[in-house]
Structure 1
Amino acid sequence: ARNASSQVRVAYDGYRSAYDLARHYRDELVPLHQNITEESVLQYNGMLIGVFELLAAARSQSASVAQAIEAERDFWRADAALKASLLGQPIAPLVLQSGASPAQAGGGH
């Protein structure tokens, strides 16, 4: 019983951390980067910045969206781990880890 309680507590801590991180990306970081990109477009249209600065802002926005997607993925994995722990069948950590994607493992090409 203690072991099960401990597993549920650890799973809940992971769930809560993943939820907080995913919410932070969704509510704060992605909208912030979107606003920065929109302002950069206005500055570019006014010829105040160059194309490379505009591209850097767009790259930053797309990176924040990708990180938000990863954070949401991690949240759903933590949710599955919590539900499995509550059912008394905890998921092994290796099952939850996706490891390197083929693009990352191959150096991107």
Structure 2
Amino acid sequence: VERAAEAAINARSEVREAYSAYRNSFDIAKHYRDEIVPLNKRIAEENLLRYNGMLIGVFDLLADARSQITSVNSYIESLRDYWIAQSDLQMALIGKPSLAAAARTSPASTGRPDH
């Protein structure tokens, strides 16, 4: 009975941790999507206007483009972290696969030859 109670407590803890990671990664990805990337795009547009008015040089424009690319790459990485956290949460909700389930889906039990 105590082992069953311990397993239930561990399962709830794992789900709480997975949900916390999921929620944090979602908030970060949303922040990049809604605030950082549009702000950098607007800054790039303004710098292009300043470049066209000959107020800044080519190198300033290139540095700004590099920072915009960096922010988009950071958004993509945060989105990747979000999808990983979501799959971890789904796995925590489903539970860990058991060895009995793995044995049932082995090639020997399906009758298909192993290639």
Q: TM-score, normalised by structure 1?
A: 0.81
Match of 1:16 in 2: 23
Match of 1:34 in 2: 41
| CA positional deviation for 1:57 | 0.7
Distance 1:29 1:56 in 2: 17
Count of matched residue pairs: 90
Q: CA RMSD in A?
A: 1.0
**Where does structure 1 differ by over 4 angstroms across 4 or more consecutive aligned residues?**
none
Higher helix share: 2
Match of 1:50 in 2: 57
Distance 1:53 1:37 in 2: 10
Q: What residue ranges of structure 1 are gaps of 5+ in the alignment?
A: 91-109
Distance 2:79 2:56 in 1: 34
| CA positional deviation for 1:31 | 0.3
Instruction: Look up the equivalent residue of 1:78 and give its one-letter code.
Output: A
Match of 2:92 in 1: 85
Distance 1:25 1:89 in 2: 32
Instruction: Look up the equivalent residue of 1:54 and give its one-letter code.
Output: L
Match of 2:105 in 1: none
What SS does the aligned partner of 1:49 have? Answer: coil
Q: TM-score, normalised by structure 2?
A: 0.77
Q: Please give the per-residue CA displacement for 1:8-31, whole angstroms capped at 9, x wherever unaligned.
A: 000000000000000000000000
Match of 2:78 in 1: 71
| CA positional deviation for 1:88 | 1.1
Give the structure with higher Rg (CA): 2
Distance 1:21 1:82 in 2: 17
